[in-house]
């Protein structure tokens, strides 16, 4: 029988949270996007862009100091991704950069003075022999499986991921601003970690990373500077854990 995955979530600053924890397999962080807005659950206003970049650098460095064999995904905005990549290259080594993953979501308003923003950027670094699993996804054109040259399991996953954002009335929505869809984190966890591995998120927000980790039988370590975020995350993880226990009892 498979062991039940463990989890822990605490209120902590990302620059010091769990910095002495070793044997991580995946670090995913989704820091604020430098919008200079004050959200209900967190403040995304900064004295300067340098202060913002330094937060991300310190947050990654705190984990890298004690882990040398793991995947790192940094989820950022296209307006800042190039600056952040240069900073991360210095910390993680440019040779360890593997992918700029584009999360495409065809929703939202149209642009009046510029092209409408329809994607986020996720920078992936792979240190040493960190886990990597090849996944397939359904073909964009239906009814092509069974033909010569097409694999029934779908096409190989690329670095462009088309996953819808959470609808305003979706059951998944918690009310936490900037909540990411479970389908997105589910894919990240499956590709960049293995069952029994440990996943960390030091900007855990609404807790989606933790839910994806538990669903895929990974251990989870989470933190956030926001008490509200930690409370929401804990509630979701308790619910996910109970659902897994019920599913296990029914098998």
Q: Where are the domains of the chain?
A: 7-250
pLDDT, position 46: 77
Structure tokens at 198: 């440990």
Binning the chain into helix, strand and coil, the percentages to the nearest 5 are 30, 20, 50
Q: Which residue has the tokens 């900007």?
A: 203
Give the helix ranges, DSSP H, for the chain: 49-64, 81-92, 182-192, 208-215, 227-250
Question: Contact at 8 Å (CB) between 61 and 89?
Answer: no
DSSP state of 68: S
Q: What is the pLDDT of residue 1?
A: 44
Residue whose token pair is 């855990």: 204
DSSP annotation of 140: S
| Cβ-proximal residues to 164 (8 Å cutoff; 6+ apart), any chain | 105, 106, 107, 181, 183
Q: According to the model, what pLDDT value does residue 172 have?
A: 92
Q: What is the pLDDT of residue 39?
A: 65
Q: How far is CA 101 from CA 19, 122, 145, in A?
A: 26, 5, 26
Which residues of the chain register pLDDT less than 50? 1
**Does this model's pTM top 0.85?**
yes
Which fold does the domain 7-250 belong to in CATH?
Rossmann fold (3.40.50)
């Amino acid at each position: 029988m498979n062991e039940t995955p463990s989890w822990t979530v605490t209120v902590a600053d990302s620059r010091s949270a769990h910095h002495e924890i070793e044997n991580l397999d995946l670090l995913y962080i989704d820091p604020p996007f430098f919008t200079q807005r004050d959200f209900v659950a967190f403040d995304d206003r900064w004295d300067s862009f340098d202060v913002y970049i330094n937060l991300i650098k310190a947050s990654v460095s705190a984990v890298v100091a004690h882990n040398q064999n793991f995947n790192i995904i940094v989820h950022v905005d296209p307006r800042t991704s190039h600056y952040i990549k240069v900073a991360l290259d210095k910390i993680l080594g440019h040779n360890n950069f593997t992918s700029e993953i584009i999360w495409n979501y065809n929703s939202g308003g149209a642009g009046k003075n510029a092209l409408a923003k329809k994607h986020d950027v996720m920078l992936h670094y792979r240190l040493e022999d960190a886990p990597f699993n090849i996944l397939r996804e359904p073909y964009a054109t239906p009814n092509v499986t069974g033909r010569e040259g097409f694999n029934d399991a779908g096409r190989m996953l690329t670095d462009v991921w088309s996953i819808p954002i959470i609808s305003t009335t979706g059951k998944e929505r918690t009310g936490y601003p900037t909540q990411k869809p479970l389908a997105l984190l589910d894919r990240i966890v499956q590709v960049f970690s293995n069952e029994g591995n440990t996943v960390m998120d030091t900007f855990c927000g609404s807790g989606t990373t933790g839910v994806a980790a538990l669903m895929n039988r990974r251990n989870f370590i989470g933190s956030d500077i926001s008490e509200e975020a930690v409370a929401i995350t804990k509630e979701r993880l308790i619910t996910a854990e109970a659902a897994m226990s019920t599913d296990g009892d029914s098998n």
